[in-house]
Structures are given as structure tokens and as C-alpha cells.
Amino acid sequence: MYEVELKVRADHDRVSERLDAIGASATGTVTQEDHYYDAPHRTFAETDEALRLRHERDDGSETTRITYKGPLVEQDSKSREEFETAVEDAGTMDSILRKLGFEPAAIVEKRRSRYEYDGYTITLDTVAGLGEFVEIEIEIEAKTVAPARDGAIEILEALGVDPDEQIRTSYLELLLEGDAQQ
């Protein structure tokens, strides 16, 4: 499975009004704490990969998922192969990773308000140390990356956000680069 994602810095108040105007459906708000790991056998920063253990909380539940993200598959979006599955015991998973030589690299904390529109997930992210962003994403088969990306661009435009301001780096990379909002 592939994830096609576009991310832009954006004022949430302005985007929220536009989400209402286009008829997007609010699906909830969550808090996420993403624990990233470095591999013992290669440097993810060089290979453009990521291994993440995500703890997610909403009003009534808490879940943990482990995700591998492959390198970007095109230059026009943040599209990449992605594998993800649920984890029953976060502490045990962390211990397994460490025993295999994976070392904690960084933690990214964010609050996400999610919306659905035309098959896409739209999130308004407030990332600790970075500020406010809007992300538009969809999971697809590899052969449909370009049309999915073009659909995400259309949604950004409908939200009054300039797709040319797209950020193709992850929140982790932005934090490690010290790219805090001015």
C-alpha cells in the first residue's frame, strides 16, 4: 500500500471555515506521540525511511501502532510505501526493537483534528515545537499516485491553501532541523 500525502503550514481557523464550506466531515480529534527509531544496519536519514511506534489517544481509547515508511516514490508529493499494524503492548514492542539494535531517535507530539472529504483524510495538525499544518492524504495502489496527488492538490486549493508551499519533509525532519514556526 502507498500513502500519498501533501503537507502545508496553514492557519487552522481559516482552513476550518473552508472545510465547513466544502462539506468535509469531522471525524474526531486525537493526540499522538510518535517514537522514531534509528536502525542498526542503515541510516534512515540517508535512505529516507522511518520506523515509528505511535501512541494515539482520544477521549475514550488509546492505541499503539508500528509503522515502516519507505523512501519517497516521486518528487511532487510526500508519497511513499507504508506498512502499519496494531501493537498490543507498546512497552514490549519498544523492548523488542531495542534488543534488535534499534535506538530511539526522537519523539514527535501532535494534536490532530481529522476530516474526511472525497475519500481523502484531511488533518489539522498542531505539532509541538513546529506550529500548525494541514495534511491531505489517501492510501492507494502504486499505479495511482499521480491522480491521487492531483486530487489532494485540488482539495488544498479548495481550502485556500497554496499547494506550491508544500513541505515534503516529515515532522521529525523539521524538528531535527530546528524549523520551528517563527
Point out the residues that are catalytic. Answer: 36
d(CA 150, CA 156): 10
Between the alpha carbon of residue 155 and those of residues 16, 18, 51, 151, 165, the distances in Å are 13, 10, 29, 6, 14
d(CA 61, CA 63): 7
Indicate the burial class of 10 (C-beta count within 10 angstroms; 0-12, 13-18, 19 or more).
buried
Which residue stretches of the chain are H helix? Answer: 12-22, 44-47, 90-99, 145-158, 171-177
DSSP 101-146: T-EEEEEEEEEEEEEEETTEEEEEEEETTTEEEEEEEEEE-GGGHH
Q: Measuring CA to CA, which residue among 110, 117, 128 is closest to residue 159?
A: 117
